[in-house]
Every structure is written in structure tokens, then in C-alpha cells.
């Protein structure tokens, strides 16, 4: 998998991508030992749940890295 050069920086500059984190569901499970729902990156425009992050097309590696860092 390759990332389109120059698109990874959109995680900092893309306001739409940053909106993913305003209502991100990062609640813990009942035991408080892990997240109730794993934070995952989904194809741009297909987000259906508050624990999903809409990826930036062409910047899949950067988008997934953000999701993994939060999970």
C-alpha cells in the first residue's frame, strides 16, 4: 500500500478530517480495561459510527496511523 505524496499532511490541514475527533466515541468498556469500541478508519464518506474515522482519500497510511494511535 502506498500513500499519495503530499496528502499525509492533510491530517493537520484538512478541517473535515479534524471534525472526526470532535465527537469521537472513546468510551471504556464496563471493566474500564479497554475501549468499548475499537477506533477504526473507514473509507472516506462511509463513517456510520462515532468510533470510526473517515479516512483521507490517498492518505490511507496517515489516516490509519491516527486510528491505531488512538486505539
- Kindly provide the residue ranges of all beta strands, DSSP E only, lying in the chain, ordered along the sequence: 40-42, 52-54
Q: What are phi and psi of 31, to 5 degrees?
A: -80, -10
Q: Where are the domains of the chain?
A: 10-70
C-alpha cell belonging to residue 43: 473509507
- Per-position pLDDT tens, the chain of length 71: 566 667 677 778 888 888 888 989 999 999 999 999 998 889 889 999 999 988 877 766 777 777 778 76
Q: Is 22 exposed, middle or buried (0-12, 13-18, 19+ CB in 10 A)?
A: exposed
Q: Tell me what pLDDT residue 3 has.
A: 60
Is residue 61 within 8 A of residue 7, CB to CB? The reply is no
Pairing of strands 52-54, 40-42: parallel
Amino acid at each position: 500500500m502506498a500513500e499519495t505524496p503530499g496528502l499525509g499532511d492533510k491530517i493537520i490541514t484538512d478541517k473535515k478530517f479534524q471534525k472526526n475527533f470532535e465527537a469521537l466515541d472513546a468510551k471504556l468498556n464496563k471493566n474500564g480495561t479497554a475501549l468499548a469500541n475499537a477506533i477504526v478508519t473507514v473509507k472516506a464518506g462511509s463513517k456510520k459510527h462515532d468510533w470510526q474515522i473517515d479516512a483521507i482519500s490517498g492518505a490511507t497510511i496517515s489516516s490509519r496511523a491516527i486510528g491505531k494511535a488512538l486505539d
